[in-house]
Chains A and B, each alone.
Chain A
Amino acid sequence: MILSVCVVVGSLLVIFGLVIYHGASSLSIEMITQTPDPSNALGGGILNAIVGSLLLALPATGIACIISLGIALYLQKEFTHAWISGFIRFTLDVLWGIPSIVYGIFCLVIMIYLGMGSSLVVGIIALTLLQIPIITRYMDEAIKMVPIGLKEGAYSLGSTKFETAFKVIRRQAFPGILAGILLGLGRGIGDAASILFTAGFTNRIPTSLFDSTAALPTMIFNMYSLPSGQPKAFASAFILLLIVLVISILSRILSKRFTKHIIP
């Protein structure tokens, strides 16, 4: 039993050790402040991937979180019948498990149909679709915990359903909502399969929404098999892990802090 715990913990430690060891040695100022050399894609740095990842994941999380908030609040029993919300929760659970490559293919087909090329905007849409089920389910769980007395209080003061949902319930459920958003962000920033086709890969920093862009996961995927590209792959992996860790720590700290402001 202890042995299997060691296997699980050990595998995580090995992954971290490997990435930190190789990543730290290949990480330099040039690596994170330069875009790849136009003449030689293996030279230069990975700035384009860092910027690309942020440009993809942050707007996607923003859009996903607005849509998700609407859905999650709508799933309360004031708005829908129990069987409809049950069905939608079920759909979300199933959508959560759908492989991200299917979202990628889906957006790719729509993209080709609309006559667009691989671009930032399609990548954002693919990530948004991927994140909505995750964020919504987390928000939904948080909203379920809101005490009923709070809602009744708001209604008795004459609030409409919409006001109650957005002004009272959203605030009370905020720590849970935040945790969901950060989890979605972490998932979105690390996903490669959905943006592999939709965002494309270039050596430049995108200048408009319709430019294709590199991202940290696709950078790793493009570089890992070339021995001379591996420093870049490891530097990307290092930054990616760092981001994921920061998000995870941030979500713990923030949800603790905001828990102070809600009514227990």
Chain B
Amino acid sequence: MKLRKWRDLLGTKLMLLATLFISSLFFSIIILLLFKSSLVLESSSLVDILFSPNWNPDINNFGLAAIIIGTMLVTGIALLIAIPISLLTAIYIAEYAPGKIRRILRPFLDVLAGVPSVVYGLCSFLLLVPLVKNVIAPFFGIQSTGLCIFTAAITLAIMVFPIIISLCVESFSAIPLALKEASLSIGATKWETVKKVVFRASGPNIFAAILLGFGRAFGETIAVNMVVGGIPRIPSSIFSPGETLASLIASKYGELMSIPLYESALMLVALILFFVVFLFNFLGVLVLRRARKRWNT
């Protein structure tokens, strides 16, 4: 009897320990990154670093503006491509597709979500890079090596499809049937119902899905690193090479340990990455939780 009590106590405490560990992980990442990046923040102010376009570690210039612009461009274009396509696909799966096609499409999306990011990078390096170099960029009259912001954006768009689609399908399917029936019964066409009832009723969910997709695209490292070109300058067009925050860390890590100030600057980049992704995920999860409660009651 006593043994069982002890085992209960010990087991419970171990579980508590695991729980404490995971919640402390979050804070320890922030503290460690803050601590490590304090060195570069001492040498120049945060505003200087964020708005100076010169990334030149050799003369201690760690301006991140060019890289931040590159990141925003890549992520923005990726979402511009991904949002309409994912929304239409989600609507098709939730409202139009016959049961058979739906049963085929769902595992497809799961697999698409499970494909490792290096594989996306590899395929896009072999297929998209020559395509952009030889066909798309000359079509707009621009010389390009193919390793550019546009290629990275397309790759990212494909990577965020499954996230946005699966969250949207989930929310479209959760809308009460009565709402749709009411719209159809007063003579609205199916498309009108989709546009005015389904989209509006799941507005917050769509917003949250986009936020979470943004978080994924913003932090994606390897696939972007393979096709973006890796040149930290302000890009002159979307067909010129650029650099993103996450990809910068991956390409410079070899030089990381040699110079303390350089290392500290890269830690600052990681901190910014962490903070932005945290913010978007935080908002996304918050909106999603609110939205989920809506139809349950």
Contacts and interface: CB of A to CB of B under 8 A. Distances in A.
B123 A132 contact: no
Given A9-B108, A71-B18, A79-B12, A94 B115 contact: no
A162 B11 contact: yes
Interface string B86-102: 10110111001000000
B22 A71 contact: yes
B9 to A, nearest CB: 8
B249 interface: yes
A169 interface: no
Interface stretch (B57-65, B172-180, B271-279): B271-279
Given A1-B88, A4-B88, A70-B19, A162 B32 contact: no
Given A8-B89, A15-B119, A162-B12, A88 B112 contact: no
B273 A101 contact: yes
What secondary structure prevails in chain B residues at the interface with A?
helix
Given A95-B25, A101-B246, A15 B123 contact: yes
A15 B115 CA distance: 9
B22 A101 contact: no
A186 interface: yes
Contacts of B22: 67, 71, 88, 91-92, 95, 132-133, 136
A193 B250 contact: yes
Contacts of B282: 94
Given A74-B15, A163-B8, A166-B11, A94 B120 contact: no
A1 B122 contact: no
B19 A94 contact: no
A88 B122 contact: no
A95 B26 contact: yes
Contact of A8 (B11, B114, B120, B161): B161
Nearest to B36: A109
Contact of B26 (A91, A162, A224): A91
A237 interface: yes
